[in-house]
Amino acid sequence: MSDTPKPRIVRCPQCGGDSVYAPTNKWRPFCSERCRQIDLGAWASESFRVPATPPQDPDELDPGSEPRVH
């Protein structure tokens, strides 16, 4: 019997295919360099965004931010 653990298979965040999540996969969690590069390009072009609405009052501050000096 072998003491080597079975590699974990996860979904590639880019293409949804199977990806080996182990040190042997240098692109993990992606399945390939291509999927990794596509994802990096999406981040660089700011395709991944969190929807937000601008504050109604320009003096409205985010919690924890420093007060503005006028």
Q: What is the pLDDT along the chain (70 residues), one digit of tens a residue?
A: 567 778 899 999 999 999 999 999 999 999 999 999 999 999 899 888 888 887 777 666 666 666 556 5
Distance CA 43, CA 50 (A): 12
Q: Which of 30, 49, 6, 57 is nearest to 68 (CA)?
A: 57
Q: Which domains does the chain have, with CATH numbers?
A: 8-44 (3.30.50.10)
Measured CA to CA in angstroms, residue 16 lies from 11, 50, 54, 59 at distances of 5, 22, 34, 44
52 CB-side CA count, 13 A = 7
